[in-house]
Structure 1
Amino acid sequence: MEEALVSVIVPALNAATYIRQTLDSVLEQTYRKIEVIVVDDGSSDSTAEIVEEFVVRDPRFQLVRQSNAGVGAARNTAIKKARGKYLAPLDADDLWSPQKLETQVACMERSGINTGLVYCSSTLIDEQGKVLHSGEIKTLEGRLRHAMVLKNLLGNASVPLFRTSALEKVGLYLTRAEEQGGQGCEDWDLALRIAENFDIRVVPEHLVGYRQCASAMSVNVGGMEASFANVMRRARQRNGDLPPAAFRWSAGYFYQYIAEKCYESHHYPSCIRYLTRAIAANPVLVLNPRIYKTGTKSLLSLMPGPMEKNGTGTDALAKIGRKRPFKLGATFRHLELARWSAALEDGACR
């Protein structure tokens, strides 16, 4: 049987630092039947010149230039030019493992026409490409409408392989205008619409290197919060039968994520503020060991210098940060399991 064409779509804005590595990871794919559409979204650096080098060397690559319109619009530009049976988005600073497309295409081909998306797990890398953290192996698959409301199971925009016909049914990415001043959750919005209409399958492997950059959009807290609010408002309108608690819990998980981003960026007061909002929206999170770890470290970082040196007031916090998670972790995991089990009853999930 003839291999299906995969259209790789790469939005790029001032991505000269990393885009060569990103496109090299595409060239290294063991699945060879691809086209690569890079959309330069109004870059002022040498992004376009670097991409042109790939275009000259490999006829599978093409460069499209446009005025800055935002990441969602840039992806949509590429999708409208794509000819593939499948679509694979890749952000301009992320990396793919060589088998990424091959394993996802094989899963999609086995699954049949009712599957709209195949995803995988990611490894967090730093600006130098060093591994910071290997996330959990994702295993959830099936009808994931409810579960996808609770959390963005994909984790980032470079993970999914879409069936092109599925996007023809549910629509494309939200654009900047549709985001109403926000940006950062447009990939979640699309995954939600897929989950509402199609099965989702998973390849339980780490196949994406998701880059954590201090200057990246991923730390644009205000934009992401506005984007999240817009995406969840739209999801409520489409899914009126889901319990309101699902959206409150989703907000809790999201605020926890934002708090962790604030901590990584050394914005400790903001971290504490978002942790408080997370627990208010999703009280079960008070038992989450990660909440204690992040919160304790943020509080310690806010202590005045003399207090830190003398140890005044910090010993108790440090003990909480070390010991409390071990006592609460089992209870949190039990409650989380019950919650996710209820969510997964929404469909035939394995």
Structure 2
Amino acid sequence: MTEEILIKFLLKETSEEESIAVQKWLDEATSNRVQYTQLEKIWTASKSLSSTSNIDEEQAWTKFKARASGTETSSSHEAIVRPIKQSFGWLKIAAVLVLVAGAWMTYNVFGPANYTDLTASNKVITEHLPDGSEVTLNKNSQISYATDFKEDRSVKLKKGDVFFNVAHDKSRPFVIQVNKVSVTVVGTSFNVKHLKGETEVIVETGIVKVSTGKEVVELRKGEKVLIKEASPKLIKEQNTDQLYNYYRSGEFVFSKTPLWKVAEILNEAYDAQIVIQDASIANETLNTTLKEITPLDKNLELITVTMQNLKIDRNDGQIVLSKIK
């Protein structure tokens, strides 16, 4: 898609056929939407700069045409410029945008500080990043990625639970920032969770390097690290379950899972407030598989059938688990 057509679309001057073509192009790929967003931001910024800018529209168009045709002259020779018809006003605007781009650089449109947000609200979403990497975001998760992603493969995980399947590119490592934690990969698949002041990284394939600035660990398939903000120590462990994967598989696979962790996962998945009243049952284990699509009340009922010494009460929005006396 040419920039001229995109500028016309931005200014609502495209024909019906052109508008349909642009909309189809925007829907084809995330990278296309990013490109259009960049152009839109430049246009918005150029309007905000217009009050202080000394750029003359006709002069900008003259310089733009001269540069485009390779006939830009020195100060001792004047270029021959023909009058521009009003119907080509959008082309003059394009020329102005080219010349204000230098000023707009101060707004970091194309710089590494500019990121595009990707948010999952009430449902799980899967998207492809501009380099071909695939990301799956659990509900209530948010990341942002560099707009110039093909050159700068950097991502910020703001909150939530995200699975990354990274496209291999040895020359440009894929880097995720989670507060003070940095996750670096070349081509691999792994899960990163950042909730309640804790960051957890679990690797499915390949090698992942996790660092906090002072410490660095390398994780391989089946390994994980949990970093707490209060004590950012990197301790590598073997991952012993598949519960981190529930939002992609649609199943809670509980295998000798302590009840406290069952409650933790269900709270996260259903946005619930399950609390364990009796400390004596917190480490009792559960062996069963439940469907995420099943309502929470039904799954809790199935848990009580499996753990026959367990009862459930409700109190001011809380779901209280306790031992049958």
TM-score (norm 1): 0.28
TM-score (norm 2): 0.29
Larger relative contact order (Cα-Cα within 8 Å, sequence gap ≥ 6): 1
Q: Which has the higher helix share?
A: 1
Q: Which has the higher strand share?
A: 2
Q: Which has the larger radius of gyration?
A: 2
